Amino acid sequence: MKASVAMLHQKTNSASPPQAHVVVVGASVSGCAAAILFARQGIPVTVIEKRHPSDFHKPICTHYIQPCSLTAWRELDLYEPLLEAGAVKNTIGIWTKWGWIPKAELGEVHALNMRRVTLDPLLRSKMINTPGVTYLEGTRCSALQRDASGAVTGVTVESATSGSFELPCTLLVGADGRESTVAELAGVPTEETPNQRFSCFTFFRNIPNESRTTSRMWMLEPYIAYQFPNDDGTTLIALMPTKDRVADFKADRAKCFREIVKSLPDAPDIDHAEQIADYLINTKNSMLLRRKLPHGLALVGDAFMTTDPLHGFGISWGIISASELVHRAAPGLLAGLRPDREIAAYHRERYAEVKGHFKIMADMALAKPMPAMQQMLFSAATRDPQTSAIVQRFLAGTSGTGELLSLRTLMRAFTTTVRHSFRRPPQMVSESSGA
């Protein structure tokens, strides 16, 4: 059965439709951000989302929101609403075998912790209520229309209740996550980097002596662990062990998880805390990159670049990529054109901006021993406040490899390391002074 857009459950506030029309596939973080920002520019947007009802959330996520995305949250007018809904302002202390890389002062630049169960409905409701957005929940994109040159000109939408129909568009935005159907239908090649770690996490309340403004990360080489205080008095604890432990964890999640958490230096006292959720395991975490796109198609968020969850960049880069796409493409779309050059520039520049991070993440995902340069930087960061600030800025995404790997930073780290090696044997910096 064919159905018109008007027959579907939707909310349209568009006054007079200009020529250009954007279709976004996926209403998670990056799709909602793209739809809000396109519509605010006066470009009508239809959002196709296979899930319903509209308050769904992504359960497999440890939801650390990096400082580099604060500007993008403010642009979406969501920074204050996130705080009002309980997002926890925090900075992170990082344990290494040389001691703690101290957390930054909690100031203007900080991370946010907010569970996806709170974040996703808030962001989606903002999107649904943005004038110019038509939201088609419970619909999926199943095919693409192309013109003679191969450019994407529309999508086929399937709805369980209303059948299928074609939706023409000037620009199709794939915001449909790591498995991106849109990219697959368009024949976009996927570059994949394996990940030797998997994730297991759960939530607690009332962890004794916990700082509610401090996140903590343990770089145990090769395992990684996190403690993130979240909204509503909850705390997420996550482990990222190597994949040789998947079978053990699947056989007895509680035993494996608790053993490792209790062995962490300055471990959170989970024996005296209340566990409020089951253990979730995720093994599907290779890194993906998609760059060769046909005209008429743009990718944002995980559909464009899926990073290792270890680094907590997916949400932040999702909304930043949406913002950058809209800024690039909007002027052409407002003129009724398909801005092919601008869209190509968006993909190229977005990747160039984060390439340094992406490559370091890809190396770290192999869970091999830390390279010598990284050892030098991390050990110096536990001893020298200036190196610590540089490493922290890199990990927060507020600076890139330009600063981290500059001759000046490396010389400073080298000098710190040499100076330190002439001192007495290393003392582990305690958590109270470190994180």
Closest approach of ligand FAD to the CB of residue 157, in Å: 8
Q: Which one-letter DSSP state was computed for residue 197?
A: B
* C-alpha span between 413 and 347 (Å, rounded): 34
Contact 204, 276 (CB under 8 A): yes
Nearer to ligand FAD, 30 or 90 (CB): 30
* C-alpha span between 190 and 204 (Å, rounded): 37
* Type of residue found at 267: A
Q: Does position 279 bind ligand FAD by CB under 6 A? A: no
Q: Does position 177 bind ligand FAD by CB under 6 A? A: yes
Q: Does position 29 bind ligand FAD by CB under 6 A? A: yes
Strands 139-146 and 214-219: what pairing? unpaired
Q: Does position 141 bind ligand FAD by CB under 6 A? A: yes
Q: Which of 23, 39, 45, 48 binds ligand FAD (CB under 6 A)?
A: 48
Give every CB contact of residue 423 below 8 A, 6+ residues apart in sequence.
none
Binding window for ligand FAD (CB under 6 A); candidates: 24-32, 103-111, 350-358, 426-434: 24-32
* C-alpha span between 134 and 39 (Å, rounded): 10
Closest approach of ligand FAD to the CB of residue 141, in Å: 4
Binding window for ligand FAD (CB under 6 A); candidates: 49-57, 202-210, 346-354, 402-410: 49-57
Q: Which of 22, 30, 36, 323 binds ligand FAD (CB under 6 A)?
A: 30
Nearer to ligand FAD, 98 or 204 (CB): 204
Q: Does position 175 bind ligand FAD by CB under 6 A? A: yes
Nearer to ligand FAD, 135 or 378 (CB): 135
Give every CB contact of residue 138 below 8 A, 6+ residues apart in sequence.
9, 49, 50, 51, 52, 159, 160, 161
Binding window for ligand FAD (CB under 6 A); candidates: 308-316, 332-340, 354-362, 367-375: 308-316
* C-alpha span between 147 and 423 (Å, rounded): 70
Binding window for ligand FAD (CB under 6 A); candidates: 28-36, 85-93, 145-153, 397-405: 28-36
Contact 136, 9 (CB under 8 A): yes
For residue 238, what are its two tokens? 């996550």
Nearer to ligand FAD, 215 or 417 (CB): 215
DSSP letter string, 77-89: T-HHHHHHTTPEE
What is the length of the chain?
Answer: 435
Q: Does position 25 bind ligand FAD by CB under 6 A? A: yes
Q: Which of 75, 137, 231, 302 binds ligand FAD (CB under 6 A)?
A: 302
Q: Does position 316 bind ligand FAD by CB under 6 A? A: yes
Q: Does position 60 bind ligand FAD by CB under 6 A? A: yes
Binding window for ligand FAD (CB under 6 A); candidates: 27-35, 36-44, 257-265, 427-435: 27-35
Q: How many residues bind ligand FAD (CB under 6 A)?
A: 36
3-class DSSP assignment, residue 164 = strand
Nearer to ligand FAD, 21 or 50 (CB): 50
Binding window for ligand FAD (CB under 6 A); candidates: 55-63, 126-134, 144-152, 415-423: 55-63
Q: Does position 301 bind ligand FAD by CB under 6 A? A: yes
Which residues are registered as beta bridge partners of 94?
A: 101, 217
Q: Does position 282 bind ligand FAD by CB under 6 A? A: yes
Nearer to ligand FAD, 315 or 377 (CB): 315
Strands 171-174 and 297-299: what pairing? parallel
Q: Does position 44 bind ligand FAD by CB under 6 A? A: no
Q: Which of 40, 46, 57, 64 binds ligand FAD (CB under 6 A)?
A: 64
Q: Which of 315, 333, 365, 429 binds ligand FAD (CB under 6 A)?
A: 315
Q: Does position 323 bind ligand FAD by CB under 6 A? A: no
DSSP letter string, 332-362: HHHTT---HHHHHHHHHHHHHHHHHHHHHHH
Contact 391, 104 (CB under 8 A): no
For residue 376, what are its two tokens? 């030098």
Name the nearest CA neighbour of 59 among 5, 126, 118, 101.
118
For residue 1, what are its two tokens? 């059965």
Q: Which residue is nearest to ligand FAD (CB)?
A: 314
* Type of residue found at 325: L
* C-alpha span between 45 and 39 (Å, rounded): 6
Q: Which one-letter DSSP state was computed for residue 65?
A: E
What does the binding site for ligand FAD look like in residue numbers (CB under 6 A)? 25-31, 48-51, 58, 60-64, 140-141, 175-177, 181, 199, 282, 285, 301-303, 309, 312-316, 318
